[in-house]
Amino acid sequence: MSRKLLFIVLISVLCIQTKAQVAVTIDFSAVKQVIDGFGASTAWHGAISSAEADASFGNDNTNQMGLSILRVCISPGGTSTNTSWNAEKSNAQMAKARGAKVLATPWSPPATMKTNSNTIGGELLPASYAAYAAHLKSFCTYLGNVDVVSIQNEPNITVSYESCTWSPTQILNFCINNASSIGTPVMAPEAYNFDSKFADPILSNPTSTANIDYIGGHLYGTSTRSYPLATTLGKKLWMTEYYLNPDSMGTCMTMAKDILDCLYGNMNAYVWWYLRTPGCNLINTGGALKLKGYTMGQFSKFIRPGYVRVNGSYNSNPNIYTVAFKGTSQDVIVVLNLNRVVKKQVFNLRNANIESATKFVTSATKRITNDGTIACTSNSFTDDLEARSVTTYVLKRAPTAINETLTANISVYPNPAHDYLKLSTIENLKSVYITNLIGQKYVSINNPTSSTIDISTLLTGNYILTINQNGIEKHIKFIKQ
């Protein structure tokens, strides 16, 4: 081999090695969107079993996904004779008992309310808008535990099954005049391809904007993208339906990349299509997780509702994608390696004090397998990413001697409290904020000037007050009565 050729080869090898060693940098002080959760649908499933509910919404072992959202179907019928309403009520009760939220979606209004008197196709009669709002409200009342209700599944496509066509103007008018009467937080438009032409008019009108809390959409026929208009107005952005087949590693790699893209694109939730019904499901009958279920679990088990995505390198190296999250007591990093070979990866963590990272892997041979704990040195660690794998790192924070570093011993009273909390001092306080026990933030005050905190708007329950004094945090649990 000539010296010139040898030189070229050596330079090429060095370039490849250098490129492979580009570090993923994560800044835990740069917070992005709050995560509402991950879920799947039981539309047309009938009632799922307790074992299937455990596998789906439980989070006690690696054979449970820890889903936190259930999407149910609002069929066109009523309560007394509609077996679908009864089955979805059972499903919702089991999901709620395991800590999940419920999203209710209609595929069609009752036939009597439509232009073609049929539950397939057609449009909602203008004279039936109020009756349709009452129909959605009656379903939410019957279930008793719906957290979000959608106006229409995929209003922008023509299909041969239960459906209804809406124009952007029709959805806008419903949101302006009727959405507020449903009595449950409303989602729109759940377009087939996340078509912003259906959501833009809603978010451009102050009345409809006030009546809508969630913007939903599906990934079919489109690629993931951010939607600044919605996020700027404070609307939650949910991806509420998508599926892929078959149940293979190739499918799961694409699935994981789609989830990561949605999270990096500032979406608050990701909901798969079928939970159990064969074809595109996450679990089999009886509750055994499919490979797609384990792939979902790499996200849903560890990134819990109320966690906040933090800024970081998304695609530092070829075919490697990373997202990170800050929780109430621990932090999480999810990494996808699409390469067919092992890749070494360095992680540099800023504005954090991390002691170690416990590693969980799903790959061709592993199913949310605990692969041990990696020590962090100066908030940095290095690991080998298995070929074609999803890896979740659960980060353990280093203990902080709070009582020794706080400049004053701060107490909070009364506890239990009704309308206000009092701090014994506000000396050197940078911030105070209140979250529920799963990390959802309700009150946030920077550089407080008063020792009194108004909690009159909080519901009865248990909360955590976090005090930041000179960069050191102290957490105090209190009860709102």
CB 1 within 8 A of CB 233: no
Q: Is 404 considered catalytic here? A: no
Beta strands in 234-364 (DSSP E): 236-241, 269-274, 308-312, 320-326, 331-337, 343-350, 354-362
Cα 48 to Cα 56, 106, 273, 433: the distances in Å are 10, 19, 15, 39
52, 154, 162, 190: the catalytic one is 154
Q: Is 413 left (phi over 0), alpha (psi -120 to 50) or beta?
A: beta
- DSSP code for 400: -
Give the residues across from 185 on adjacent strands.
none
**What is the amino acid identity at position 67?**
L
Question: Of 278, 270, 279, whose CA–CA distance to 297 is shortest?
Answer: 270
Q: Is 241 considered catalytic here? A: yes
Structure tokens at 435: 């979250």
Question: Of 467, 475, 455, 476, whose CA–CA distance to 428 is shortest?
Answer: 467
Residue 192, helix vs strand vs coil: coil
CB neighbour list of residue 56: distance below 8 Å, 6 or more residues apart? 40, 48, 64, 65, 67, 95, 275, 282, 283, 287
- DSSP code for 283: B
**What is the amino acid identity at position 49?**
S
**What is the amino acid identity at position 456?**
S
Query: How many other C-beta atoms can be found within 10 angstroms of the C-beta atom of residue 64?
Result: 23
CB neighbour list of residue 55: distance below 8 Å, 6 or more residues apart? 63, 64, 65, 283, 287, 288, 289, 293
Structure tokens at 344: 């070494």
Taking the C-alpha atoms of residue 281 and residue 46, their distance in angstroms, rounded to an integer, is 14
Cα 218 to Cα 66, 172, 273, 347: the distances in Å are 22, 19, 10, 32
Residue 208, helix vs strand vs coil: helix
52, 88, 241, 386: the catalytic one is 241
CB neighbour list of residue 380: distance below 8 Å, 6 or more residues apart? 23, 346, 347, 348, 349
Query: What is the secondary structure of 219-254 as a DSSP string?
Result: -TTS-----HHHHHTT-EEEEEE----SSSHHHHHH
CB neighbour list of residue 61: distance below 8 Å, 6 or more residues apart? none
Active site residues: 154, 241
